Amino acid sequence: MAMAASSGGGVASTPNVTPMIDVMLVLLIIFMVVTPMLMAGFNAEPPVAQNIRDHPEDEQTDQVFGIDKDGRYYLNKKEIATDQIAAALHHIYVETPRDDRIMYLKADKNLDYGKVIDAMDIAMKNGVTVVGMISDQKAGTISTVPGDTKATAPVGAPATPPGGAK
């Protein structure tokens, strides 16, 4: 590295940006590693149906049990080991005071039906009295269920009614 010879003999006051660049690169790497983990969760493509009511998923009160296409179990979008399912459900539905004992079950449409039945069996043995199955609205249909807040036009169709806007 060459140094500039100046006749002034004073101290050069140029900022050293190398430590700042190092910190920025470390932060970039941390965000690149952490972001996919934050986005990860429970992914399943549920079966489709017509005339279904939108799911009232309240994170405070509703318990959603899921099974993805690979057969992994999730409780409220967090993966849970098979041997911990019964204890977790027992804690939620028996040990904790609740007004309802409803559990929503969301499973991938290509999953073996036996896995769904096993999950329902574990739930029923651990305090769940009602299991609500979650599915998606069939493409190209409108839900005619009273009180359905989401489906005002066929899924996948433009929001304009047939014959144009009036």
Specify the pLDDT at position 164.
Answer: 40
Are residues 18 and 25 in contact, defined by beta-carbon separation less than 8 angstroms?
no
Instruction: Phi first, then psi: give them for residue 22, nearest 5 degrees.
Output: -60, -45
Tokens for 110? 């290509």
Specify the pLDDT at position 68.
Answer: 87
Specify the pLDDT at position 121.
Answer: 92
Buried-exposed string 1-40: b where 16+ CB fall within 10 A, e elsewhere: eeeeeeeeeeeeeeeeeeeeeeeeeeeeeeeeeeeeeeee
Specify the pLDDT at position 160.
Answer: 41
Specify the pLDDT at position 14.
Answer: 83
Specify the pLDDT at position 57.
Answer: 62
Task: Give the residues of the chain that fall short of pLDDT 70.
Answer: 1-9, 38-60, 145-166
CATH number of 48-137: 3.30.420.270
Specify the pLDDT at position 142.
Answer: 73
